[in-house]
Amino acid sequence: MDTGTHVVMGISLGGLALLDPAVSADPHMAHAVMIATIAGSQAPDIDTVLKLKNNAVYIRNHRGFTHSIPAVLFWSLLIPAVIFPFVPGANLLHLWLWTLLAVVLHVFVDIFNAYGTQAIRPFSKKWVALGIINTFDPFIFFTHLVAIVVWAIGGHPGYTFITLYAVIFCYYVVRVIMQLQIKRQLRARFDEIEEIIISPTMKFRQWRIAVKCKSSFHVGRSMNGEVVILDTFNRVPVPDTEIMKIAKQDENISAFLSFSPVYRWEVDKFKDHYEVRFIDLRYRSKGHYPFVAICHIDMDHQIKNSYTGWIFSEEKLQKKLRLGSV
């Protein structure tokens, strides 16, 4: 989820914690738990700073180790350890439990996004991405805000946030059912399906669709319960050529391939270089596929420059390549 949603989730957990007698009996303990739940709801996203280095490192690592089982345990121990010296009378066990819940909730809700996390690491580095809830979901965010306002004007925090989580649970169930209905339509429509990737959007009844079949890719949307296919591509294996082998060694291309489950590729030869391009098919927007990886290789088979990330115009992409964005 986005940072704002994680913040309001942390606040809601801090309010819910007031149902715990060990928390509600001591104002200092209540403040400590509130700080811990907000911090715990943010801690796994500390890897966002990797974007300052480059997109390749960010794509390969964001929501990776920091969302893993060892990291969840680490954050749940570190945050109470930092807070406890300032509130020595706090119940350390309960402070840890509420912090742990905040961190676990962060990782859990991220699993439902299309981006996903490596939540089962170290047992597997597989990305777990259910594609049910958008990274920013207006319903989830604003229902949290409403619950926080109800608490601020005098509502009972425990009962308010229990009601909130009951509503959110029902919302998740509805979203799961909606996604299953889309998959059922796709299986009835296409043969030899190998994988269906469904990505939610900010619009409640609109979803992005990418279908991987044995010999083709299909890209479309589900709008108001109706599946519409917008593009179809032949599924052509990546060739085992010298140029492609060199491109795969590039950091940006390698990061893209480690992240994208469904893509097509292009190789073009120009006067003084080859251009290798990989295009993610999950994020079609206004007839354009903005998430790409591209690499230029000179005639001596040396990588000149490369880039991976979100680009919404060819002009901006070529500008980044000219500037040597690697």
* 80 shares its domain with 158: yes
What's the rounded mean pLDDT across residues 250-255?
A: 93
What's the rounded mean pLDDT across residues 263-283?
A: 93
Q: Residues 99-126: pLDDT tens digits?
A: 999 999 999 999 999 888 989 999 988 8
* 111 shares its domain with 226: no
Residue 252 has pLDDT above 50, yes or no: yes
Phi, psi of 39 (to 5 degrees): -65, -40
Domain count, the chain: 3
Give residue 320's pLDDT: 65
61 within some domain: yes
Q: What is the mean pLDDT of the chain?
A: 92
User: Hey, CA dihedral for 39, 41, 44, 46, is it positive or negative?
Assistant: negative
Confidence bin at 321 (pLDDT 50/70/90): low
Summary count for the chain: helices (H), strands (E): 11, 8
Give residue 325's pLDDT: 44
> Domain range holding 35?
3-174
9 within some domain: yes
* 291 shares its domain with 204: no
Residue 98 has pLDDT above 90, yes or no: yes
Q: Residues 34-49: pLDDT tens digits?
A: 999 999 999 999 988 8
Residue 324 has pLDDT above 60, yes or no: no
Per-residue tokens: 32: 């400590």
294 within some domain: yes
Long-range interactions of 85-94: CB distance < 8 A, separation 24+: 86/32, 87/28, 87/29, 87/31, 87/32, 89/26, 89/28, 89/29, 90/26, 90/28, 90/29, 90/32, 91/22, 91/23, 91/26, 91/29, 94/20, 94/22, 94/23, 94/29, 94/33
Q: Residues 1-40: pLDDT tens digits?
A: 899 999 999 999 999 999 999 999 999 999 999 999 999 9
Residue 78 identity = L
112 within some domain: yes
Give residue 59's pLDDT: 83
- Pick the range with the lowest mean pLDDT from 56-65, 171-180, 202-211, 236-245: 56-65
Q: What percent of the chain has pLDDT over 70?
A: 96
* 59 shares its domain with 36: yes
Give residue 314's pLDDT: 67
Q: Residues 182-232: pLDDT tens digits?
A: 999 999 999 899 999 999 999 999 999 999 999 999 999 999 999 999 999
* 7 shares its domain with 148: yes
179 within some domain: no
* 116 shares its domain with 263: no
* 135 shares its domain with 220: no
Give residue 326's pLDDT: 41
Domain edge (last residue) among 174, 201, 219: 174
* 62 shares its domain with 140: yes
Give residue 89's pLDDT: 86
* 37 shares its domain with 63: yes
201 within some domain: yes
* 53 shares its domain with 169: yes
44 within some domain: yes
Give residue 116's pLDDT: 85
What's the rounded mean pLDDT across residues 132-158?
A: 95
* 128 shares its domain with 198: no
Confidence bin at 53 (pLDDT 50/70/90): confident
Give residue 323's pLDDT: 55
Query: Do 204 and 139 contact (CB within 8 A), yes or no?
Result: yes
185 within some domain: no
Q: Residues 66-81: pLDDT tens digits?
A: 999 999 999 999 999 9
Least Cα distance to 278 among 316, 307, 318, 313 occurs for: 307
> What does the alpha-carbon distance between residue 125 and residue 93 come to, in Å, rounded to a whole number?
31
Per-residue tokens: 155: 């509502």
Give residue 254's pLDDT: 93
* 109 shares its domain with 155: yes
